[in-house]
Chains A and B, each alone.
Chain A
Amino acid sequence: MDEEYDAIVLGTGLKECILSGMLSVSGKKVLHIDRNQYYGGDCASITPLEELFARYKSPPPGEQYGRGRDWNVDLIPKFLMANGLLVKLLIHTGVTRYLEFKSVEGSYVYKGGKISKVPVDQKEALASDLMGMFEKRRFRNFLVFVQDVKEDDPRTWKDLDPTNTTTQQLYTKFGLDKNTQDFTGHALALYRDDDYLNEPAMTTIKRIKLYSDSLARYGKSPYLYPMYGLGELPQGFARLSAIYGGTYMLDKPVDEIVLENGRVVGIRSGNEVAKCKQVYCDPSYVPDRVKKVGQVIRCICLMDHPIPNTKDALSTQIIIPQKQVNRRSDIYVSQVSYTHQVAAKGWFIAMVSTTVETSNPEEEIKPGLDLLGPITNKFVTVSDYFEPTDLGGESGIFISESYDATTHFETTCLDVLNIFKRGTGEEFDFSKVKHELGDEEQ
């Protein structure tokens, strides 16, 4: 450890592992440290099940849960958009070779107390029970327009300039009613609140395209989920970093970030000091350089059955748009199962999460919990959401934001690409990754 590094990365959450991989691939000498004995930080999948129960100070699990080590329980629920940024990063860095995925079976949206499949193509739009007959036609016209729009070709814009129109104006032009706007914005464009209505229509169009392009990749839904849980993702990028020369140390406390004239020069662990030019870390390593901007509540539910009314889907996402339950931010429900090697045979793990708005967050997620049917055991976490107050220009310390309540990894990747740019002064060059590490897959 007593060496000099270009960068020291603290914490092995997904963002830090992607950064570590990118830095190593770019030729930087990287030391990657975690205070925990395991990889993944908040992004770990907890195994065995006994460990999860102990974490929440619950008595050990009974025999009905099967073998403890058949469980890998995520702490933060998310899916990958099949055509999204994380998949792009996985492919271009070659980390995809370390992982296997399954397509998420169902994508649902909540309306008036019940759930309906999210309609995404014209055929589904016409069959959907979310809209009346005339509304279906208007929604279909809207989808056809969105599919045809090309950002760089004004001729596809018809008589509307999406770069100079708000999303609200776009909706109005196609005559979509409030209800249709609601599931379009929240279940297709995946916005968390209604601020987007005043954003340019093009942004919304691109997000709807991401949804439908992702759906087109592997079928049933736009989402993917890795076998053995999300904790496999940071581990994959950690291996990439190691293959490119990164050094890993787990179970290593970080006692001090050593500064000289306000600039980082190393980190101290006990009596050892590792020198470096830069530090990349999650908020937990630098409490004095971040500010709390909100809270997220996440509830892990262990169940011996799939979520009702989802055709017994072995994996599902349900979005409860804010307006449906008189809130300002959406509630998300996701469910995976033993078929993803994250639970013992016959078991399902559902997660309900949202951005906290009141002093009684558990009450806020009730509409989500009510959809699940009988829950055998549940574990609730309310975690603070931090943003850096130090962007690293002076200090050389580059801090990631906490994981937000979104159901996918798009904002995660944007934060990573942004930090990489702040730290290195350049965009990440995907072509730098040489695919000469052993055999290429056909």
Chain B
Amino acid sequence: MASVKAPQQKVILCGEYGVGKSSLFRRYAFNTFVSSNNRKSTLGLDHFNKEYNFKGKNIKLQLWDTGGMERVASITSSYYKFAEAAILVFSLDNPASFHILSQHLLDIVTYAENAKIFLCGNKSDLVTQAPQVTDADMDNFCEQCHNLISVTYKTSCKTGEGVEEMFADIAQHLVTSNRSRIELQQLTEDDNQQQQNSFKVSLPEESLEPPCLC
């Protein structure tokens, strides 16, 4: 029954266009930063796997980017499917990107109702003496969402500050919540043993026919 493979957890990035979701993705995947006048939106970013270890337990985070589909408000519902965690991203220097989060939160609870939700204020390097979005604002928001949000973070993709810490922390949360989830799953599986699991399609093992010898 025990599997040696680290469980893979889909984590999605949500939030307005331009708050730095793809920058978080790039930091996470390649530890790079490309400034906004130097790139063509989110071209080519799909998803990226990375392994984390917490108290001897391995977990594989699979981070997904939106593919820029939020630009004209048209993310597919399938983006959310199978997500174990969602990061709500806003820009600390842009209050509008913060106030619209309830909209994105609604999408998450509709299409990925089991996902754990995290809040991330990005572009912390741009924050001045009088922050546009305060800690109190963030706390208020979490309270209003009936504590759907597990943890809040502040990051800067430009300097890299807080990014890796955030993903490591999310991995840790998923390991902890995962245990009870897996146990629960086993219980329900015993319940309906005739049900097969779903799978991904791939090339056949012995691909194509053996080469002709003549």
Contact = CB atoms under 8 A, between A and B. Distances in A.
Interface string A92-111: 00101111111100000000
Nearest to B214: A153
B74 interface: yes
Given A39-B76, A239-B78, A339-B195, A439 B201 contact: no
Nearest to B204: A217
Given A97-B47, A438-B29, A242 B200 contact: no
B46 A437 contact: yes
A280 interface: no
Interface string A211-248: 00000011000001001100010011011001111011
B71 to A, nearest CB: 7
Contacts of A242: 67-69
Contacts of B69: 238-239, 242, 248
Interface string A241-266: 01111011110000000000000000
B36 interface: no
B79 interface: yes
Contact of A103 (B47, B67, B196, B203): B196
B73 to A, nearest CB: 7
A250 B200 contact: no
Interface in B26-43: 29, 40, 42-43
A359 B71 CA distance: 47
A91 interface: yes
A90 B82 CA distance: 19
Contacts of A96: 200-202
A380 interface: no
Nearest to A102: B198
Interface in A101-144: 101-103
A227 B202 contact: no
Contacts of A236: 78
A236 B40 CA distance: 22
Contacts of A99: 78, 200-201
Contact of B200 (A153, A339, A441): A441
A249 B29 contact: no
B136 interface: no
A239 B79 contact: yes
B202 A441 contact: yes
Contacts of B81: 227-228, 232
Given A243-B43, A243-B44, A437-B46, A100 B67 contact: no
* Interface of A, helix, strand, loop or mixed by DSSP: mixed
A437 B44 contact: yes
Contacts of B201: 82, 87, 90-91, 96, 99, 101, 224
B110 interface: yes
A250 B46 contact: no
Contact of A243 (B46, B62, B198, B203): B46
A282 B199 CA distance: 31
Interface residues of B, number: 37
Contacts of B204: 217
Nearest to A94: B46
B46 A438 contact: yes
Contacts of A238: 69, 76
A96 B200 CA distance: 7
B77 interface: yes
A305 interface: no
A87 B199 CA distance: 13
* Interface of B, helix, strand, loop or mixed by DSSP: loop
A405 B159 CA distance: 57
Contacts of B74: 39, 248-250
Interface in B11-57: 29, 40, 42-49
A102 B195 CA distance: 10
A232 B201 CA distance: 14
B62 to A, nearest CB: 7
A177 to B, nearest CB: 33
A244 B43 contact: yes
B108 to A, nearest CB: 13
A397 B37 CA distance: 36
A276 interface: no
Given A437-B45, A438-B46, A101 B62 contact: no
Most buried by A among B47, B201, B202: B201
Contacts of B44: 243-244, 436-437
Contact of A247 (B72, B196, B197, B200): B72
A245 B67 CA distance: 8
A218 B200 CA distance: 11
A273 interface: no
B196 A438 contact: no
Contacts of B78: 98-99, 228, 232, 235-236, 239
B45 A243 contact: yes
A171 to B, nearest CB: 26
B200 to A, nearest CB: 6
B47 A245 contact: no
Interface in B83-139: 110
Contacts of B49: 438-439
B34 to A, nearest CB: 16
Given A247-B71, A439-B49, A314 B195 contact: yes
B8 to A, nearest CB: 9
B81 to A, nearest CB: 6
A238 B68 CA distance: 12
Given A239-B67, A437-B45, A439-B47, 20 more contacts: A39-B77, A87-B201, A91-B201, A94-B46, A99-B200, A99-B201, A102-B197, A217-B204, A227-B81, A227-B198, A228-B78, A232-B78, A235-B78, A239-B79, A243-B43, A243-B44, A250-B73, A314-B194, A437-B47, A439-B62
Enumerate the 3 nearest inter-chain pairs by beta-carbon distance, A residue then B residue, closest first: A437-B46, A235-B76, A242-B67
13 contacts: A47-B77, A96-B201, A101-B201, A227-B81, A232-B78, A242-B67, A243-B67, A244-B43, A245-B43, A250-B73, A439-B47, A439-B49, A439-B62
